[in-house]
Structure 1
């Protein structure tokens, strides 16, 4: 399979040399990716929204518990975190979750259950809460198969499964219909943006996305395909497919999109975000980098960097390499958040 990868992979990478050629490639590539994701098979309906609870955290942050409709028979549950004084000028950041943290609960920093608290401490998982403390409104959703959106509530009685997700169930149902899990997740996040735009309480003109691990995966794809995302931060998920998803072939089903590797690598997808501000965070000892280590991530960032250079915005891409294993690092969060917000104002083509 590795030999086949080397023979057939990345046939549609950008090979032009001008900004005009890149823009045409971006348009064509987005169309290709929507086809691979099966988003044309997703269904729009009346977008209902219901607030179920509002509480205030010890930090004075208002935490709203919502469920919003993303397809006629499908609902997304989420926490919206609003710091004191948040209003129409406050930026909004989507914070999709990764695995092993029970969905939105760890990202929003809900420490009511010891196993979730353990995951928050291990991965520094509460980046939604951290960003709210920095003054942003953050939206921490359950993606399909996680948290309140599990496909089989019974298997959540077993702790390891309850903290993870039902991606394999979703993949077995969706892929034969041409809808991989990533198509479902990307669709839902786009509908979440629709709801925030209709809600009009906060500044969606400065909307961004930040995610760690599987949340970084969702951030990558959403930002690549939706220009309403004005800035993005991807932590623990920017590496070449050959090393990280083929050589390490026991990763979660949500990572795999049929036929994707024939066309593009991860850096090519990240190129679609240019010239909007992008902060990539990698850890040197992250096993998901694959057998060659962090160089696998550096190679993919370099692919995206070429797009930023071509579009005249090399300063809008930053790659932070941190010590340690697979985890989010918040030590320089204020600095990087300032970078993302300030550069998003001037990143229009």
Structure 2
């Protein structure tokens, strides 16, 4: 600690003790025990509890909403947003039906990649006066999607239970809602999920059934979905499907009859996930109705509904809430939404009330039915759309029967419109194109103009904030419990547990406090935690001793799975995975839990914040990491920015792009996308940095310091000299 009381105590202790070496490295946690750290408990999975964040003020909610929007976009690989290349939309084979028409559609949502679907329109558009609403309609995991045909016995039971009304029209609830919305006067685009119906460039088995890593699809220049490389660059099926939803909106907005001020979206189950996700991020949508998906319970079990980073500290109710205060309709059934009336919906209702639009949210709970978007729930949806899309009905006409259409009638591909290429070669080309587009946009951020550095930080820095997952904790959310104190030669050892009350982390921390402290602190991060401050003979390592002799306070900390976190002294070679799912998709673990790399970075940030906010008001905080922990210190500095006056670090040439296992201790989803480790250094420009471990100055880092006109603030040393590092730390700030 740094208080005057301790200074007085130190003087008296030093006067009474001989100059004897340390006999053993200090231990903070009682012998035989591990720190009381919540991160040692079982991991959270998609079946956990995900209550909504509740806001006290409109301003508070605005900040939360902005953060969640960025979180969604970053985690889905949509930050920055991909280029909206020409859709090259093809609409063909119009068929007139009873009160509506059906047309076949395919759109090029990314170069060479096509979204497929059916377009439903009111039959007599020429007689319409004025424009009409446009609705996009994503579907869930019905077998074959648009081509679904309910098994006869299942449909018979639904008819008996009142879940469906027509033996013909009840065969496919996706078609049923599309037909009736068109009959009510809307244009509806029902589009395929990746791997369903006509959308086969990425197979159903891969997109929705991925179970095992494919080493041949994890090369440095050629990779596929779910690979470590794809995760390093935040490329996932959920992101692709969300992008398809955005492009579906682009398409329907181009249709002459559509009123772009009256756009809506509705879907159930996995289609409900797509509904609330696109509603959360695309402001064009005016009405949203995700069915049987929004809950505080199960968050979506398919690989297509999960992404690394996405639900760490958030859940589906939060994402649905982002649509507020616009009209949001929900349905619930006897599934994971069964408790929404008491868990989740009251918080949503309170938010809408806070925003002054309590009448814009509606829940239709029919708990007598299993998971569904049946006739009863569709009826509620039509009423909701009528009200908020201003369809003009005083009494909404009920559904009536229609002619079911099978795959032969609905498929968009034929001899005139042949299906595009697919398979693994196409998959790798798609991901490379996606990555190239992102890198082109990121490369353009830094120009020769000083103001471009701000733009760079607003994009790259904001993304790294999501990737790392924690900034500097507030002082009020930290707790210090001192349990150890021992006087040594010319310094005092003070140890205790530093707890982050939000994450419930609990780190053993050791302060080496010199006799005449110069108000400067050096946080010394090592592979061995705080034990790394000492040699094997329990004397201080050379660099630490030199700093103590110069009156610096030196701080050591056991990061997660270091030092006192280890019962057997061995650090894990692989990180944990959730017990509930054996499929080798990273999102099942890291969509709900921070990686070890991120958690260790959080520990450094917690330590920095505690020192920065301490009552003794240190004048300078420096951060040192001269071994394999260098990347952790760099990530922490990227978040702490100017709070860390100086960073002295050995990068060891580390790159996230070289991490080839999703359970490596160094795995960090998105770590490679934003200029990799050099990008983390660059966002802290123009702060003072001493860097070793690089053959040459990374291009983005060199450019950032040049743009900031602060090249003298970046010192590179190829030798990794501790003496030069200490000289850097002890020099007066420039």
Query: Structure 2 residue aligned with 1:195, among 241, 251, 258?
Result: 251
Structure 1 residues 18 and 10: alpha-carbon distance in aligned structure 2, compared to 1, 3 A threshold: farther
**Structure 2: gaps (5+ residues):** 1-39, 156-168, 211-223, 392-734
Alignment of 1:267-306 (within 5 A): 267-283=317-333, 285-286=334-335, 288-289=336-337, 294-296=338-340, 298-306=342-350
SS in 1 for 2:312: helix
Deviation of 1:12 (Å) = 11
Aligned CA-pair RMSD: 3.2
Shift in Å at residue 199 of structure 1? 3.0
SS of the counterpart of 2:198? helix
Normalized per residue, the structure richer in helix is 1
Aligned length: 313
2:132 to 90, 94, 99: 90
Query: Is 1:217 aligned to 2:273, yes or no?
Result: yes
Aligned to 2:183: 133
Query: 1:10, 1:326 → 2: CA distance?
Result: 19
Question: Structure 2 vs 1, CA of residues 65 and 295 (structure 1 numbering), >3 Å: closer, same or farther?
Answer: same
TM superposition shift of 1:150: 2.0
Cα displacement string for residues 123-146 of structure 1 (whole angstroms, at most 9, x for unaligned residues)? 734322222222211110112211
Cα offset, 1:194, TM superposition? 1.5
1:40 Cα offset (Å) = 3.1
Please give the alpha-carbon distance, in whole angstroms, between the structure 2 residues aligned to 1:84 and 1:78. 18
Spell out, residue by residue over 1:306-333, the C-alpha distance to the aligned partner (whole angstroms, 9 max, x if none): 3211111111000110121111122334
What is the deviation of 1:297? Answer: 6.2
Q: How many angstroms apart in 1 are the aligned matches of 2:144 and 2:41?
A: 34
Partner of 1:316: 360
Q: Hey, what does 1:237 align to over in structure 2?
A: 293
Match of 1:19 among 35, 50, 58: 58
**TM-score of the superposition, structure 2-length normalised?**
0.39
Q: Deviations over 1:267-313 (max 9, x none)?
A: 11111000110110111x22x44xxxx11564122332232111111
CA distance in 1, matches of 2:171, 2:371: 9
Task: Report if the CA contact (8 A) 1:171-1:254 is conserved.
Answer: no
Aligned residue in 1 for 2:170: 121
The structure whose Rg is larger is 2
Rounded Cα–Cα distance in structure 2 between residues aligned with 1:99 and 1:332: 22
CA distance in 2, matches of 1:171, 1:118: 35
Q: CA deviation at 1:17?
A: 2.0
1:346 paired residue number: none
Instruction: State the Cα distance separating 1:237 from its structure 2 match.
Output: 0.8
Cα distance in structure 1, aligned partners of 2:179 and 2:231 = 34
| Pairing 1:100–2:154 present | no
Q: Conserved in 2, the CA contact under 8 Å of 1:39 and 1:183?
A: yes
Separation of aligned partners in 1, 2:137 and 2:152? 17
Moved more, 73-82 or 115-124: 115-124
